[in-house]
Amino acid sequence: MNNKAVSSALAAILVIAVFVIIGIVVASFGVGNIANQEVSVHIDNVLQTGNYTQPQPLNWGTVQPGFAYTKNFSVTSNSQQNLTLLLLTTEPEGSTQTWAFNNTRLAPQTAAKGTLNLALTTSASVGSYTWRLLAINGTVTPVEPEPVENSTALSCTIKASPEAALKNLNVTIAGAKIPLLKTDLAGEGYTVNFTKGETLRFEAEPETDYILLRWDFSNHNPATDNPLTLADVQESFTITVKLVPSQEV
């Protein structure tokens, strides 16, 4: 047998194998998951510090069958490349978590801000909720959302000043009560989505010896009712709760 020929054949096989291995490595890392490296996640304005690629617990508080709930869920890109966002969730049977920006493209240095929605059926749901984010770098073209004319999807941003003497605030949409703390309402506030024509209800619970002075609207006259009910809402708006010591009134 020609040992030289055998050696040459083995060398060729080794070269091919090396290139195959290199190809696998390139394929694995060329379009890879880079969550936690070049993106950051905020839930209800709180930066999430866990490993985004691993299941992260999500606390929805006390939920009731047949109701829907929302949380602010935003992903900010610190990357110089295009990313594709993939949000994976687990939830008990009979409930569903959805995010409007799931499986969408994110341009460099931009943010995808939208509510994470939880819907429960009429059957009781027992178990844990989790989320995982995969931010995949690939050769994608960022796509700007198309404006929707005559859209029925509206939003309300609820705010309170950091020094507001507020225990909590409940907003009720479509029969679902969303309890909010003062920390939820600080800064950019807490945004909830609703449908045009919906009825919204706001109820503030001030600290002891404080009362509600008024609700300030971005595009309406102030209101003093507490609870405050807005029927047949036709546009998005911002509402800010104003509180004062009771002895000042």
Residue 77 near residue 223, CB atoms below 8 Å: no
pLDDT the model gives residue 168: 87
We report the CATH number of the domain holding residue 201 as 2.60.40.1140
The answer as to whether 121 is a domain residue is: yes
The answer as to whether 24 is a domain residue is: no
Handedness of CA 85, 90, 91, 94 (dihedral sign): positive
Residue 200 near residue 232, CB atoms below 8 Å: no
**pLDDT grade, residue 127 (50/70/90)?**
confident
pLDDT the model gives residue 116: 93
Residue 137 near residue 31, CB atoms below 8 Å: yes
* CA R_g for the chain: 25
Residue 239 near residue 216, CB atoms below 8 Å: yes
pLDDT the model gives residue 47: 92
Give the 3-state secondary structure percentages of the chain, helix then strand then coil, rounded to 5.
15, 45, 40
In the chain, which residue ranges form alpha helices assigned H by DSSP? Answer: 3-30, 182-185
Distance CA 25, CA 20 (A): 9
Same domain membership, residue 182 and residue 131: no
Task: Give the rounded percent of residues in the chain with a pLDDT score beyond 90.
Answer: 18
pLDDT the model gives residue 238: 92
Same domain membership, residue 99 and residue 54: yes
pLDDT the model gives residue 146: 44
Same domain membership, residue 172 and residue 244: yes
pLDDT the model gives residue 202: 94
The answer as to whether 107 is a domain residue is: yes
Residue 175 near residue 69, CB atoms below 8 Å: no
**pLDDT grade, residue 72 (50/70/90)?**
very high
pTM for the model stands at 0.46
- Among 177, 218, 173, 178, which residue's Cα sits nearest to residue 198? 173
- Please give the tally of structural domains in the chain: 2
The answer as to whether 28 is a domain residue is: no
Tell me which residue range forms the domain holding 87. Answer: 39-137
- Among 162, 183, 158, 161, which residue's Cα sits nearest to residue 171? 158
Distance CA 135, CA 137 (A): 7
Distance CA 244, CA 179 (A): 21
- Among 157, 159, 155, which residue's Cα sits nearest to residue 241? 159
Tell me the pLDDT tens digit for each residue of 185-204. 888 888 888 888 889 999 99
Say if residue 132's pLDDT is above 80. Answer: yes
pLDDT the model gives residue 2: 52
The answer as to whether 5 is a domain residue is: no
